[in-house]
Amino acid sequence: MKGTISNYRRGRRTQKTNQAVIIVEKVKNREDAEKLVGKKVEWIAPGKNKTKISGKISSAHGNKGAVRALFETGIPGQALGKQVDII
């Protein structure tokens, strides 16, 4: 399953770079998003080293099917708007 990193989880003046909001393909409501909680998420960096940052879906975010994911380390800004694999 594929998803797109929408943004970091953030407040008015802070952002948590190890937490992200992900929009998942073919998920349109909160009930479907809550079924994904606990699944693994992986982002693979472009370039020759193919650095892999993995995380876990922690909860649904909003009513339109987005989810929150908690990553091991902070994800870089170049990951925003890119695809992730949901396993």
Which CATH number is 23's domain given? 2.40.10.190
The total number of structural domains in the chain stands at 1
What is the structure's pLDDT at 78?
95
Residue 9's domain comprises 2-86
* Whether the Cβ atoms of residue 69 and residue 83 lie closer than 8 Å to each other: no
Backbone angles phi, psi at 16, to 5 degrees: -105, 105
What is the structure's pLDDT at 65?
94
Under-50 pLDDT residues of the chain: none
Task: With residue 16 as reference, give the H or E element that holds it.
Answer: strand 15-24
What is the structure's pLDDT at 43?
97
pTM here? 0.92
Q: Which of 1, 67, 58 is nearest to 28 (CA)?
A: 67
What is the structure's pLDDT at 25?
95
